[in-house]
Amino acid sequence: MKPELLFPRETIGRRVKELAEQISRDYEGRELLLVGVLNGAFIFMADLIRGMSIPCRVDFVRVASYGCGSQSSGEVRITKDLETPIAGRDVLIVEDIVDTGLTLSHLLNVLRERQPASVRVCTFLDKKERRRVPFTAEYVGFAIPDEFVVGYGLDFNEKFRFLPDVCMLKDIA
């Protein structure tokens, strides 16, 4: 199983910088709470924060829907919840990839019940072809084809997460 290059690290760096600048403009004068979705978003979130020019706080959630396979199970559950209260705060969920939309739709519903001032989504990758529920992220790094991707924090069975580029894995079942 040999990864095939999709986005080199230089292209990723430029796009993450653009997203950070856009988010900083949109939230100028406010403190933002970034909520990283573990495990895949941690590298993207770290780079995103380093490119921002506004004050922000950080927390994490872990949401399970894949298990050990390459297809979403359709069952979504929060396995690590936020430690920070979000009522009245501006919240930006930072995700590695939006696929079916089920995970983020569920997470958004849970977080909206906690009455934040606002809640939006920033995703590194968006795979619209696979949507099972209507969902649109406010900030998107790259739209990608319906291929399984790894690198820059994304994995396949905990492998390939370390790659600095985003690569496609062909022929996985």
Q: Residue 67's domain is classified under what CATH number?
A: 3.40.50.2020
Decide: pTM greater than 0.85.
yes
pLDDT tens digits along 129-138: 988 998 899 9
- Residues 108-127: what's their mean pLDDT? 97
Q: Is residue 6 in some structural domain?
A: no
3-state secondary structure the chain: CCCEEEECHHHHHHHHHHHHHHHHHHCCCCCEEEEEEECCCHHHHHHHHHCCCCCEEEEEEEEECCCCCCCCCCCCEEEECCCCCCCCCEEEEEEEEECCCHHHHHHHHHHHCCCCCEEEEEEEEECHHHCCCCCCCCEEEEECCCCEEEECCECECCECCCCCCEEEECCCC
- What are the tens digits of pLDDT across the range 19-73? 999 999 999 999 999 999 999 999 999 999 999 999 999 999 999 875 554 455 5
Question: What pLDDT is attached to residue 153?
Answer: 95
Q: Which of 90, 99, 126, 171 is catalytic?
A: 99
Number of domains in the chain: 1
The parent domain of residue 89 ranges over 30-159
For residue 16, being part of any structural domain is answered with no
Q: How does the average pLDDT of the chain come out, rounded?
A: 92
Position 122 in a domain:
yes
Is 99 one of the catalytic residues? yes
